[in-house]
Amino acid sequence: MKKSIRMICLFLALLMLWSCTPVEMETESSSSAAPIESEIPEESSESSPATEESKDEESSVYTEVYVRPEILDKSYAERAEYFGQYYEMDYDLNDAYFHNSVFVGNSIMLHFSNFVTRKRASDAGFLGKAQFFAAASFSFYNNANQTASSPDCALPLYAGTPMSISDAVGEMKIGTVYLSLMALNDIAIYSDGMTGILETYNLFVDLVEDLNEKYPATEVVVLSNTYLHSSGDNGRNKLNNGSISDLNIRVLDYCNQNGLDFIDVSSVLLDDGKCLGTEFCSDIGSASFACHLTEYAYNAWTFVLRDYAAAKQKGIWKNPESMEGLLSQ
C-alpha cells in the first residue's frame, strides 16, 4: 500500500515537472530577450537626435566678421535724408564705450564738441564721457612747434593751460586718443601741395610714435580728414580734395601696417561729385575753404563712431583696406 502511494506521488511529481518546465523556460526566455530587443531601437532613437544636435552645434559655430552698414553705401540723397533724421536716435548703449577717451582736432572737432555738448543737455550719456581737446586753427605743425608762450599760440587748453597733445594726454591719463587728421590747417602752409602732404604725414607719424612711447597703455585711433565742398575745392590751391585724399590714403596705409584703428568719417559725407555734400557743409561759399560741418554731418559721425564701438566690443572691427582717391575740381 505504502509502495503504491509512493509510486503515485512520484508520478504526480514527474507530471508537474513536465508541465511546468516549459512555462518557466518561456518566461525566462521572454524576460531576457525582450529588453535586448527594446534597447536597440531606444539607443538608436536617442543617439540620432544627439548626433543631429551635435552637427547643428558644429554648423552654427562660425567666426563673425565686420559688415559695413548698408547706409554708408547708399546714394548721397539717401544718406543725406537718413542722417537728417538720425538726431532722433539719441540714446545708444555703445556710447559707454567712449568713457575714458579724448577726441583731438581742429575747428572741425571743436564744432563736434559743441554738438555733443548740446546733445548731452537732453542725454547725459551721449557719446559716453568722452572729452575733447580741440581748437580753431590747430594743426600738427603748431602742435610740434608752439608752446604756451608763443605769440600766436593755437594750442588747445586743458585745465585752462595751452598744451601740446602729448602733454594733455599725460595730464588726462586717458585710455584712448581719437586723433583727427588736421590737413585743413597744415597742408597749405608749405611751399607746395605735395610738400604739405608729406610734412603733415611726417608730423602725424612723429606724434603717434611719441604717444606710443610715452603712454604705452594709451591707444591711438585715427579719424580721417573730411573734405571740402565743391565751392571751396580748387585744384590751383595747395589745399584741395585731391591733397586731402592723398593724406588720408597715406595715413590709412600707415595704420594698416602698424596696427592702428582708422575710422573713415569723411567718405559718408561725400556727394555724387565726390565733394563734401551741401547738406553736410555749414559754410558754403565762404571766403576760406567751405569745409565746416552741419549737425547732419555730426549725426553721421556719431553713427560711424557707434558702429565702430559695436564692432570693437564684438572683436570684429576691421579697418578699410583702401580709400578712394579723389581729384580736385
Query: For residue 83, what is its C-alpha cell?
Result: 542722417
Grid cell in block for residue 265: 568719417
The SS3 of residue 114 is helix
> What does the alpha-carbon distance between residue 289 and residue 284 come to, in Å, rounded to a whole number?
8
Q: What is the pLDDT of residue 233?
A: 95
> Which of 44-58, 96-110, 150-164, 254-268 comes out lowest in average pLDDT?
44-58
Q: Indicate the DSSP class of residue 161.
A: E
Which residue ranges make up each domain of the chain?
76-314
Pair 255, 261: CB distance under 8 Å: yes
Q: Would you say 178 and 103 are in contact if contact means Cβ atoms under 8 Å apart?
A: yes
> Rounded mean pLDDT of 165-191?
97
User: Which CATH code for domain 76-314?
Assistant: 3.40.50.1110
* Mean pLDDT (whole number) for 153-163: 97
pLDDT at 194 over 70: yes
pLDDT of residue 288: 78
Least confident of 10-19, 151-160, 177-186: 10-19
Question: Of 318, 308, 319, which Cα lies nearest the Cα of 176?
Answer: 308
pLDDT tens track for 239-248 = 999 999 999 9
Report which DSSP code applies to 239.
S
Mean pLDDT over residues 254-281, rounded?
98
The alpha carbon dihedral of 310, 261, 239, 104 has a sign of: positive
Q: Quote the pLDDT of residue 53.
A: 52
Per-residue pLDDT averaged across 276-305, rounded? Answer: 94
Say what the pLDDT of residue 88 is.
65
Rounded Cα gap, residues 150 and 59, in angstroms: 64
Sorting pLDDT into bands at 50, 70 and 90, what band is 24? very low
| Total residue count of the chain as it appears in this document | 329
What type of residue is 107? S
Query: What is the reported pLDDT for 189?
Result: 96
The DSSP annotation for 68-110 comes to: --GGGGS-HHHHHHHHHHGGG----GGGGGGTTEEEEESHHHH
Number of Cβ within 10 Å of residue 228's Cβ equals 25
How far is the C-alpha of 208 from the C-alpha of 215, rounded, in Å?
Answer: 10
pLDDT at 178 over 60: yes
